[in-house]
């Protein structure tokens, strides 16, 4: 069973074909308007040509070949230097400059947004990297703390062992002195004892 839905890819292709057909139709309408004006000896400007062809001035400005054809048509007209035509052409130039100025401003805004987006991506990437480094350092610190605890425990055990051995040594020395009858002239020194012999 099939449905009436067209896949997204098909929709994109259909839209692309429709745009191309619309652009081709506009191009033909402008060319036809130029031919009619040439046949009748009428002067044209961007504005009057756009109105005659039913298209926007922006569309005409985007079609270099049509603009060139209009310029050739204007040069062929004997009334090119008439004041009304000069005023119309000046108005077209002003409109063109305004369009260019507006588009440049739009481009600047887009560039600023792009820069801000890139900066945000870099900052986010750096933040993730810093978080990873922080977590790695935290794990390293935890490991070092655990090692330090183990070493402290080992040192305490070793100190107890040394004290026990010192006690055993003291007992052995005392027993030897008693057996040999020698005077007790040996000072007992324990590991870590801060007191000095008198």
Whether 149 maps to a domain, the answer reads no
Residue 169 within a domain: no
The number of helices, as runs of H, and strands, as runs of E, in the chain is 5, 0
In total, the chain counts a number of residues equal to 198
What is the predicted pLDDT for the residue at 62?
85
Residue 74's nearest CA partner among 88, 57, 94 is 88
pLDDT at 162: 83
Question: Based on the structure, what is the number of domains in the chain?
Answer: 1
Q: What range defines the domain where residue 58 resides? A: 18-80
pLDDT at 173: 79
Over the chain (198 residues), the average pLDDT of each successive run of 10 is 49 82 90 87 83 87 86 71 62 78 86 81 72 77 82 84 81 79 56 49
Residue 168 domain flag: no
- Rounded to the nearest 10 degrees, how much is the dihedral formed by the CA atoms of 38, 39, 40, 46? -20
Contact 43, 74 (CB under 8 A): yes
Q: How far apart, in Å, are the Cα atoms of 193 and each of 52, 55, 170, 188, 197?
A: 111, 104, 14, 10, 10
pLDDT score of 25 = 92
| 24 in any annotated domain | yes
Q: Considering only CA atoms, which of 91, 100, 26, 95 is closest in space to residue 65?
A: 26
Task: Give the model's pLDDT for residue 180.
Answer: 77
Task: Report if residue 62 sits inside a domain.
Answer: yes
Q: Looking at 2-71, which runs of residues are DSSP E strands? A: none
What single string gives the DSSP state of each residue in 126-152? Answer: HHHHHHHHHHHHHHHHHHHHHHHHHHH
Confidence at residue 2, expressed as pLDDT on a 0 to 100 scale = 46
């Amino acid at each position: 069973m099939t449905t009436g839905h067209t896949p997204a890819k098909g929709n994109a292709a259909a839209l692309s074909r429709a745009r191309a057909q619309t652009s081709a139709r506009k191009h033909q309408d402008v060319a036809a308007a130029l031919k009619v004006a040439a046949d009748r000896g009428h002067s044209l400007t961007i504005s009057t040509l756009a109105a005659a062809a039913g298209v926007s001035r922006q569309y005409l400005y985007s079609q270099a070949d049509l603009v060139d054809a209009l310029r050739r048509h204007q040069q062929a007209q004997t009334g090119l230097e008439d004041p009304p035509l000069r005023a119309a052409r000046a108005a077209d130039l002003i409109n063109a400059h305004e369009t260019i100025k507006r588009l440049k401003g739009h481009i600047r805004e887009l560039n600023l947004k792009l820069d801000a987006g890139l900066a945000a991506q870099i900052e986010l990437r750096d933040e993730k990297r810093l978080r990873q480094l922080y977590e790695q350092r935290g794990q390293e610190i935890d490991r070092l703390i655990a090692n330090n605890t183990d070493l402290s425990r080992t040192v305490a055990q070793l100190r107890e062992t040394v004290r026990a051995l010192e006690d055993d040594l003291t007992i052995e020395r005392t027993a030897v002195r008693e057996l040999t009858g020698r005077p007790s002239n040996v000072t007992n020194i324990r590991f870590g004892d801060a007191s000095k012999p008198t």
